[in-house]
Structure 1
Amino acid sequence: MNYNITATAGKETNGHIDIRETQIHFGTEAGSPQLANPAEVFLSAFAACMLKNVARFSDMMHFNYDQATVEVTATREEKPPRIEQLTYTLTLQSNDPKLNTDLLKKNLQKFGTIYNTVAKSCRVEGTVKLV
């Protein structure tokens, strides 16, 4: 499987990423502080991967949930500049007794494309909880 996107930014303008029929705007150094910066776009890809896999594993593991929310934070190292650690909290709204959060977490770690890519470059730690 291959992926393809196009990103564009001017020297003094904000950027945008074109993905199929979606356009995601991001801020540049000279751009708007209201827009996501590239690190936040990166964290968003991690979060989207997790949420997509929650939906996928709900079918495979035969559990129901009403909503899933993931909060992702990252620690940036200055020299060299890189993400050193990523931490997440995945919260599922569910009262399904078949939902095994430990197994779900293991599956997310084992089968998440973005998760595995990130985990090779920095520490990833997280929790899965029910509400």
Structure 2
Amino acid sequence: MEYFTTAYSASKTNATIAIKQSKIDFGITPETDNSLPNPAELFLGSFSSCILKNVERFSILMHFDYISAEISVKATRLEKPARMDEINYVLKVHSKDNNLNIELLKKNIEKFGTIYNTVKLSCAINGTIEKISE
């Protein structure tokens, strides 16, 4: 598989990533720090998206139903060299299905997630998955 994106920025304003039929604005100036995602937050968003996509994928393969899933991600950044050092996440899967095996889901996410596996080569990842029965 191959992936393709394009991005554009204008000096002293904002930037945009174009992916398929979507556009994502992001900040490149101090003025947008509180209103637009920065590149590090987009990176964590990609990590989150990978995990959520795999919840959907494995719900089919593992034969479980879920209502929704949500993930919170927090990262620690080092200064020299500037990089992510540690990523911590909490994934909450809302489901009443007894077929949902949290341990196996976590194992599959960690083994088969494209972004997950790319990131774990460069920094520590710690995560928990919780089943929320409603």
TM range (shorter): over 0.9
Q: TM-score, normalised by structure 2?
A: 0.95
1:104 and 2:105 equivalent?
yes
Question: In the alignment, what sits opposite 2:75?
Answer: 74
1:31-79: CA deviations, max 9, x gaps?
4120000000000001011111100000000001000001111000011
Kindly provide the amino acid, as one letter, of the partner of residue 126 in structure 1: G
Shift of 1:11: 1.9
Q: For 2:124 and 2:22, how far apart are their aligned partners in 1?
A: 30
CA contact (8 A) 1:12 1:31 kept: no
Shift of 1:13: 1.2
Secondary structure of the equivalent of 1:80? coil
Kindly tell me the number of residue pairs found equivalent between the two proteins.
Answer: 131
CA contact (8 A) 1:14 1:31 kept: no
Question: In the alignment, what sits opposite 2:86?
Answer: 85
Q: For 1:62 and 1:31, how far apart are their aligned partners in 2?
A: 47
Which consecutive unaligned segments of at least 5 residues does structure 2 have? none
Kindly provide the amino acid, as one letter, of the partner of residue 36 in structure 2: L
Q: For 1:64 and 1:89, how far apart are their aligned partners in 2?
A: 19
Q: For 1:20 and 1:109, how far apart are their aligned partners in 2?
A: 27
Kindly provide the amino acid, as one letter, of the partner of residue 129 in structure 1: E
1:35 and 2:36 equivalent?
yes
CA contact (8 A) 1:12 1:30 kept: no
Q: Which runs of 4+ in 1 moved over 3 A?
A: none
Question: In the alignment, what sits opposite 1:26?
Answer: 26
Q: For 2:114 and 2:91, how far apart are their aligned partners in 1?
A: 17
Shift of 1:30: 4.5
